[in-house]
Amino acid sequence: MASVAELDRPADTTDAFRAGARAWIEANFPASLRGKDAGMSAVEGPTDESPDERAWRVAMGGKGWGVPTWPSEYGGGGLTRAEARVLGEELAHAGAYNPVGGMGVMMFGPTLLEYGTEEQKRRHIPDIARGDVRWCQGYSEPGAGSDLASLQCFAEDRGDHYLVNGQKTWTSGGQWADKCFMLVRTDKTQKHAGISFLLLDDMHAEGVEVKPIDLISGFSPFCETFFTDVRIPKENLVGREGQGWEIGTRLLQHERSSLSGGGSASRGASKPISDVAKDYRGTDAEGRLADQDLRMRVVRHEMDARAFALTLRRAALEAKSNQGPSAATSIMKNVGARVTQERAELGVEIMGMNGLGWEGEGFTPEELHQTRVWLFGKAVSIYGGSSEIQNNVIAKRILGMLDHQ
């Protein structure tokens, strides 16, 4: 039975698109980048593009293929889901990657396409589609994490602009970002209905201070961000005042959909865990992993990972064109976190003491990377909404379980 995506376009048209996409990639993708993983680079460090990396980003961004299904009038590719799937297959076939990403693509852009004014979309979406601008997210606060609706960062109405004062924390990539989408309080008398969605055009504006937070993995992608009398023009309000909770939760669905694959914690884990196990633990006479118990756990993990990957692909293929992510992304996010963390735990166990190295001689680069992947992986079940919060969403919005008074 044909998938929904395969019904978008006749087979001969899709085949023609495949041939054209393959030829375009062959002509534009630099061979020096073959096999490179862009990962979550938009929030993992400053932009230090090589000439080939920039050329590839400019080519993909100019074509609109960095965001293949976004409307072409805003700089997207305007492709059908079937064509976008073919494009992904051809990129993989060429050992290429999508150089356009980050929070603008995976969270803010889709949300603005749904809630933004025409002027806001034309002002912001093309830059995101080209990969020219980095966005960060101003949501969590020191006293408003899981209970995000308790946020206190206040935007005072000053006629033609808001004056913003307050603090955000866990601002991913804040030290490298150009702009910020943020939830602020515009009404102190109401909790959820007092929240609005604002856009900060310049993370280097007067009154904005960013302080990186060091993590146990040795990396600092998160920040504290302070706002002191920061002016934000009224035209940067998305939706209406008091609609921020609705818009913000919709954005989180897009985020959880993007994070379902486990995020950056699985980066560098291209080698199957079964091969890693054989390298470190050895094989029996039949070429199987010698440790039977470990062999069974590795097999179960690889089955879970494969089933999860297929489920993600099926969900993407079956999504209706006028329907974005749903509450079901909470299920995907939780499963993706579990699969990612299990992989990291198995890697450390398999490598033994070699999987716990931090620096110095006696460790390979892969072993040192494994240590950091394992430590960073602890955050996967927290960022984007903790697993406990996702369980609440699943219980209430999918299973229909209501709180009992």
Active site residues: 255
DSSP for 176-214, please give it: T-SEEEEEEES-TT-SGGGEEEEEES-TTSTTEEEEEE-
- 255, two tokens: 């985020």
Q: Please name which of 86, 181, 68 lies closest in space to residue 134, comparing C-alpha atoms.
A: 181
Query: Looking at the DSSP assignment, which residues form a beta bridge with residue 196?
Result: 184
Identify the DSSP state of 108: I
Q: How far is CA 402 from the centre of its chain?
A: 30
- 326, two tokens: 């749903």
DSSP for 261-305, please give it: T-GGGGTT--S-HHHHHHHHH-B-TTSSBS-HHHHHHHHHHHHHH
Determine which helix (DSSP H) or strand (DSSP E) holds 163, and give its type and residue range. strand 161-169
Determine which helix (DSSP H) or strand (DSSP E) holds 150, and give its type and residue range. none
Q: Are 141 and 169 in contact (CB under 8 A)?
A: yes
Q: Are 136 and 173 in contact (CB under 8 A)?
A: yes
- 23, two tokens: 């030829």
Query: Residue 60 — φ and ψ, nearest 5°?
Result: -65, -40
| Beta carbons within 8 Å of 339's beta carbon, 6+ residues apart | 262, 301, 304, 305, 308
Angle at which helix 273-281 crosses helix 292-318, to 10 degrees, equals 170
Report the C-alpha gap between 36 and 56 in whole angstroms.
12
Number of alpha carbons in the 13 Å side-chain half-sphere of residue 75: 22
Determine which helix (DSSP H) or strand (DSSP E) holds 330, and give its type and residue range. helix 329-351
Q: Are 265 and 377 in contact (CB under 8 A)?
A: yes
